[in-house]
A = this chain, B = another copy of it.
Amino acid sequence: MSELALLTVGIRSEVRRDGTLHLSLQSTALNDPGPDEVVVEMVAAPLHPADISMLLGPAHLASGAITGKGEDRTAVFQIPPERMRPLATRTGKSLPVGNEGAGIVVAAGERHEDLIGKPVAVMGGGMVTRYRVVPARNLLPIPDGVPIGNGAAVLINPLTALAMIETMRKRGHNALVHTAAASSLGQMLNRICLQDDIPLVNVVRRPEQVSLLENQGAKYVCDSSSSSFADELNAQVAAAGATLAFDAVGGGKLAGQILSAMETHCLAQVFDYNRYGSKVHKQVYFYGGLDTRPSELDRSYGMSWSVGGWLIFDELERMKVEQLDGLRSRISAEMLSTFACEFAGELSMTELLDPDTLRVIAQRSTGAKYLVNPRKPLT
């Protein structure tokens, strides 16, 4: 390890008690890797919606102050006072950013020296940084012939999509509803479900996203902004036979509408009146919260239903080793097809800390996902 520079520099996000958000670069010393760890030099880290939420919180981006150059670059934004309360647990803490990325192994603990020099996908938090020490189990080697940038986003979204299917099977469901279905994750889930012959109802939020998914072979797509949405959702949920949904939207009436469509379908298959509704369990999991309003549940779908949080990291912890290995093998084999992800551009860490850039990123537009390349020179 003696030949290695033991310093790294990475992006930090800090909410301060005075109601400001500070984005900056921070230098920290790297620990030597333990026997089961490796040091990865990061080459590409994607900004997923969850990373953007972590980076920017609810800051007001219209007026930002930027100071310093290179490693001293700092961007400061105001946070609306009424948005501070939910941030209490992170206030005053300088948080690293980035759930995953791709890089080159530059040093390794004794059990993993064979990985040195190899390109790897890596997950574990704080990935928008020059170097990162991680447990080797957080890596997935990028196969020969796959450009390293194509390995930047092959863990979080692919594992999330595959874990949704594992959850579906484990809980005895046979079909899925997915919301915000035009997202990178949604398009990936659509490819998996087509391949595996799993009926999938794609709920999108804009008319043009219907054709986007239909052009990719999706059988069931409905647009929540359409005036006939409830009818379309009912018809598609019935045709798919879906009793499980993964919802990235969270707020408003959508989750309740999905449960209601499921219950309507289940009741159509029983003849006796049961005041407690159908006995088939109907489930909506929230895995995101694009709509920050409260979820409104009118409970008009009997008694056999549940909604709640679903977190990929907890799912991965609960998974058996063989099961997880199965998912990892599939990702390796299909990295350039099923699990491919497109990016709108590549930024250095200082380019990211520019108010104009941040405002673009904050829109989290479909098809406009950016990569940060921590090796790119700081300006």
Q: Which residue numbers of A lie inside 8 Å of B, CB to CB?
A: 54, 86, 89-90, 93, 95, 250-251, 256, 267, 273, 275-276, 279, 286, 289, 294-300, 302-311, 313-314
What would be 11 A-B contacts, judged by CB atoms less than 8 Å apart? A54-B275, A95-B273, A250-B299, A256-B294, A276-B313, A295-B297, A296-B296, A297-B297, A297-B307, A305-B308, A305-B309
- Given known pairs A54-B275, A275-B90, A311-B276, the reply for A296 and B294 (CB within 8 Å) is yes
A114 CB, nearest partner CB in chain B, Å: 32
Distance between A170 CB and nearest chain B CB, rounded to angstroms: 15
Query: Shortest Cβ distance from A256 into chain B, in angstroms?
Result: 7
Q: Give the docked Cα–Cα distance between A314 and B304 (Å).
A: 9
User: How many Å from the CB of A51 to the closest CB on chain B?
Assistant: 11
With known contacts A275-B54, A294-B296, A297-B295, A309–B306 Cβ distance under 8 A: yes
Nearest CB of B to A249, in Å: 11
Please give, as numbers and ranges, the residues of chain B lying within 8 Å of A307 by CB-CB distance: 297, 306-308
What separation, in Å, do the CA atoms of A250 and B311 have in the docked complex? 25
In the assembled complex, which residues on chain B have CB atoms less than 8 Å from the CB atom of A279?
A: 314
A298 lies within 8 A of B303 (CB): no
B296 touches A302 (CB 8 A): no
Q: Look across to chain B and name the residue whose beta carbon is closest to the beta carbon of A298.
A: B294
Q: Which residue of B has the minimal Cβ distance to A302?
A: B309
Known: A273-B90, A275-B90. Contact between A311 and B304, CB under 8 A? yes
Copies of this chain: 2
The answer to whether residues A299 and B289 also contact, given A267-B89, A294-B256 and a CB cut-off of 8 A, is yes
Q: Is the CB of A286 within 8 A of B273?
A: no
Closest to A311 in B: B303
| Interface residue from B276, B296, B300, B314 paired with A303 (Cβ < 8 Å) | B314
Assess the B294–A299 pair: CB atoms within 8 A.
yes
- Say which residue of B250, B296, B299, B303 sits within 8 Å of A310 (CB atoms): B303
- Interface pair A309/B304, CB less than 8 Å apart: yes
Task: Find the B residue at minimum CB distance from A251.
Answer: B299
Q: Given A299-B286, A306-B309, A308-B306, does the pair A273, B314 have CB atoms closer than 8 Å?
A: no
Q: Which residues of B contact A95 (CB under 8 A)?
A: 273, 275
Contact of A295 among B89, B250, B299 (CB under 8 A): B299
Closest B residue to A297 by beta carbon equals: B295
How many angstroms from the CA of A250 to the CA of B297 in the assembled complex?
9
Compute how far the CA of A308 lies from the CA of B305 in the bound complex, rounded to whole angstroms: 5
Given known contacts A308-B307, A309-B305, A89 and B273 CB-to-CB distance under 8 angstroms: yes
Kindly state the separation between the CA atoms of A324 and B310 in the bound complex, as whole angstroms: 32
A138 to B294 Cα, complex, angstroms: 42
Q: Chain B nearest CB: distance from A259 CB in Å?
A: 10
Q: Which of B286, B297, B313 contacts A294 (CB 8 A)?
A: B297
- When distances are taken between beta carbons in the complex, the residues of chain B under 8 Å from A310 are 303
Report B-chain residues with C-beta under 8 Å of the C-beta of A89.
Answer: 267, 273
Is the Cβ of B54 less than 8 Å from the Cβ of A300?
Answer: no
**A314 partner residues in chain B, CB cutoff 8 A:** 279, 303-304
Pick from A90, A289, A298, A309 the residue with the most CB of B within 10 Å.
A309
A302 / chain B contacts, CB cutoff of 8 Å:
309
Inside 8 A of A93's CB, which chain B residues have their CB?
A: 273
Tell me how far the C-beta of A2 lies from the nearest C-beta in chain B, rounded to whole angstroms: 31
Chain B hits for A299, CB < 8 A: 250-251, 286, 289, 294-295, 309
The smallest C-beta distance from A82 to any residue of chain B, in angstroms, reads: 13
